[in-house]
Amino acid sequence: MALDKTSLDLSRPIYMDNNATTPMDPRVLEAMMPYFTEKFGNAASRNHAYGWEAEEAVEKAREQVAKAIGANAKEIIFTSGATESDNIAIKGAVEMYAEKGNHIITLLTEHKAVLDTCRRLEREGKAIVTYLAPKPDGIVDLEQLEAAITDKTIMVAIMMANNEIGVIQPMAEIGEICRKHGVLFFTDAVQAVGKVPVDVDSMKIDVLAISGHKIYGPKGIGALYVRRKNPRVKLAGVIDGGGQERGMRSGTLNVPGIVGLGKALEIAIEEMPSEMKRLTYLRNKLKDGVMSQLEDCYVNGSMESRLPGNINISYAYVEGEGLLMGLKGLAVSSGSACTSASLEPSHVLKALGVGDELAHSSIRYGLGRFTTEEEVDYAIQITVEAVNRLREMSPLYEMAKAGIDLKTVQWNHH
């Protein structure tokens, strides 16, 4: 494949890690700017114009956020980001619904903000948590989910779209099960909101977390949807203070951030139909491009129920961090242990039953609003080159080619 590299700016790696974070859309920055300087008021200042204009901006953003998920503005509270939203949702429910029960059901493939919150509650003796393994394609087993519900269950916490493998859960079906059993349905929808349609009513979602920086908005801002009727959900706050955000999240509101989040969602919703089409096309082109040129590579997670811009592929016989080094012209990430602080391969891929060696060999490509077709062509080309080069250097590839079954080899673990 001949590529005209001169038209690509290769002075920096091409950004293809939009599941980690996204660049801010210039239109979002523009909307935010006045709220840093001349419109700097505290939205809680009720007795002067500075406070009023800040409050007005916050309420406009609240409308924008609510509209993006089919909610009412009164049901939105602003937080510092999705990690905080996840913490309030789970800890707040455990505290508020202690009389009803203490059981939470979640998935092994959840984000650490959910898993580690659950683990702390278990450690502190405040909750009992069931961690369900998803099916091999990453999707929750609905029968297993329903069977796990007890009379002590207060909440089901299942993310809408996974950050590593982009798999989208059957929200309406999960919501139906939760409603039937009178259990709250909380979803971390950070990767989904603004990317695919979300409707809290038809999906019967009770609590939902949103992040600004995954949707071309600013970092340090997030939101939490808390249902007000049928059922009316109440969550205890995690941070004590001035009682802002209906008492669920004290602290002076981050007005510029909130304005940015609202604007980012407004844009995302408006452009969603065309973006979904465009990103699905590019993502499939990337997948087909590498998989038609390389043998022994595997897509992690369902292809049928997946975010448009995400693809996660394991390249057998090649280690992920070594591969990332070969893909230095590309900013992507790997599920390899070496790339994380924990020295453990991706917990998401492990939960899918992907073997450790293939988890070490995985690359996540996250395409986004600013990804071009030219960049995708480049990604295909350098991935194929790097994988081929590293396979020539790989003892595992050599053994596999010689017909040795790698699973029967006695490895000396270290």
Partner 1 sequence: MAYSTKVIDHYNNPRNVGSLDVKDEAVGTGLVGAPECGDVMKLQIRVNEETGVIEDAKFKTFGCGSAIASSSLATEMLKGKTIEEAEKIKNTELVQELNLPPVKIHCSVLAEDAIKAAIEDFKKKQAAKREKAQEALANA
- Interaction site with partner 1 (CB under 8 A): 317-322, 325-326, 336-338, 343, 345, 355-357, 360, 392-398, 406, 411-414
The residue (of 274 and 412) whose beta carbon lies closer to partner 1 is 412
The residue (of 138 and 320) whose beta carbon lies closer to partner 1 is 320
Rounded CA separation 195/275 (Å): 8
The residue (of 103 and 347) whose beta carbon lies closer to partner 1 is 347
What per-residue string of b and e applies to 110-142 under the rule 16 or more CB within 10 Å gives b? bbebbbebbeebeeeeebbbbbbebeebbbbee
Beta-carbon contacts of residue 58 (< 8 Å; ≥ 6 apart): 43, 78, 253, 255, 258, 259
Residue 118 annotated among the catalytic residues of the structure = no
- What are the φ and ψ backbone dihedral angles of 318, each rounded to 5 degrees? -125, 135
Phi-psi region of 87 (alpha: psi -120 to 50; beta: other; left: phi over 0): alpha
Beta-carbon contacts of residue 20 (< 8 Å; ≥ 6 apart): 163, 333, 366
The residue (of 18 and 334) whose beta carbon lies closer to partner 1 is 334
Omega before 231 within 30 of 0, i.e. cis: yes
118, 178, 297, 338: the active-site residue: 338
Query: Shortest approach of partner 1 to residue 339 CB, angstroms?
Result: 9
Is-contact 301 352, C-beta < 8 A? yes
The residue (of 175 and 322) whose beta carbon lies closer to partner 1 is 322
Query: Shortest approach of partner 1 to residue 318 CB, angstroms?
Result: 7
Spatial strand order of the sheet with 184-188 comes to 76-79, 222-226, 207-211, 184-188, 153-157, 103-107, 128-132
Query: Shortest approach of partner 1 to residue 316 CB, angstroms?
Result: 9
The residue (of 3 and 393) whose beta carbon lies closer to partner 1 is 393
One-letter amino acid at 56 equals: E
Rounded CA separation 334/319 (Å): 9
Q: In terms of Cα–Cα distance, which of 313, 316, 317, 321 is closest to 379? A: 313
Query: Shortest approach of partner 1 to residue 270 CB, angstroms?
Result: 39
One-letter amino acid at 358 equals: L
Beta-strand pair 128-132/153-157: unpaired
Query: Shortest approach of partner 1 to residue 326 CB, angstroms?
Result: 8
Catalytic residues: 338
